[in-house]
Amino acid sequence: MKQVFIYLLLIIGMCCDYTWADDGAGLDPTLIPGVLFSAGRSDTTRDGGLGSGFFLDTNYARTFVNVGVAYKDFTNEKAANAYAGIGFANILQLQAGYGSKGAVQRLRHDFNMTELYDFFTGNHRSPYSLTLENRISFTFAIERYNSHPELDNASIGFGLLY
């Protein structure tokens, strides 16, 4: 468990902008690397599951790499996980993780209304103009636990992009 967190910290350090100079070569300049803090509701997806609960989540996404941590609280169970994965910015993220309940896989999607509006209208707003209205994001995730299927869940929530 300790080694997993050490590797995740190394991945985060390699992905963050302040750890090395990045000239942007090979990266899409319209995609903002960012940290998304989110919270919301989680519902177990299996019969005999634990029911509903809430989640708190922090996720960092760069063009093709993402990492995150999450805390889920169901009525009788709690789970804390760390994830690392691949994907396309916040649009689609495939993550593998490990936490207090063992190995877990997660499919995650984050979006905000400003990005959707700009996409459909062809508006070319500066991607670094992060006013409050540009930061509000919505999160959808599906998780599957290897050794605790009663915790398999789907989550929906909202958050702020930084």
For tokens 């093709």, the residue is: 64
- In whole angstroms, what is the distance from residue 134 CA to residue 33 CA? 14
Rounded Cα–Cα distance for residues 34 and 63 (Å): 10
Tell me the whole-structure pTM to 2 decimals: 0.74
pLDDT tens per residue, range 56-82: 999 998 878 999 999 999 988 999 999
* Domain assignments of the chain as residue spans, ordered by start: 2-161
CB contact set of 21 (below 8 Å; sequence gap of 6+): none
Domain 2-161 indexed as CATH 2.40.160: yes
Q: Give 125-145 pLDDT, tens digit per residue.
A: 766 666 777 788 999 999 999
Q: Closest Cα partner for 108 from 72, 59, 63?
A: 59
